[in-house]
Every structure is written in C-alpha cells, then in structure tokens.
Amino acid sequence: MIRTQISLSDAEYRAAKREAAQLGISLAELLRRSLRAVVPSDESKPWMRYAGMVETGDPHSSSQIDEVVYGRRR
C-alpha cells in the first residue's frame, strides 16, 4: 500500500470522521472506499469496484456474488 497525504477543510475532516465512525471503519478506509466509487476500476473485472465494500452480514454471500453485486443470478 502507498501512503499519501491530503488536505481537507475542517468541515470536510469532521464530516468524514463522523461518517467513518458511523460505519465503524477508519478514515483511511472511508477515503479508499470513496475513491473506489469514483476512480475507474479494471474494466475487465467490473466486480472489483465492489471488492471490500459489500457487507451483507450473510456468511454465504461470497457464494452468491452475482446476486449481491448485480442484483441477479447469472
């Protein structure tokens, strides 16, 4: 993983910290997830955009990935 530094306004920082706390994740993870939603992923693997982001609470969700990601079975 590459470490980087960004500048945020006080309001952006507080809002991001609050959102991360509500999700139970770190600020860094919130920012990574936000980037994944905006930055194009490998087009040959569209499901990678959701890697690490889908949390269903279902321990068997990985066996139903098409339904989870695409909303349907393939």
Domains of the chain by residue range: 8-39, 42-74
SS (H, E, C) 44-61: CCHHHHHCCCCCCCCCCH
3-state helix, strand, coil in the chain (%, to 5): 55, 0, 45
Do the beta carbons of residue 26 and residue 16 sit within 8 Å?
Answer: no
Written as one letter, the residue type at 62 is S
Task: Tell me the whole-structure pTM to 2 decimals.
Answer: 0.55
Cα distance between residue 51 and residue 38, in whole Å: 14
Average pLDDT across each block of 10 residues of the chain; the chain has 74 residues. List them in order.
Answer: 93 97 94 84 65 62 67 62
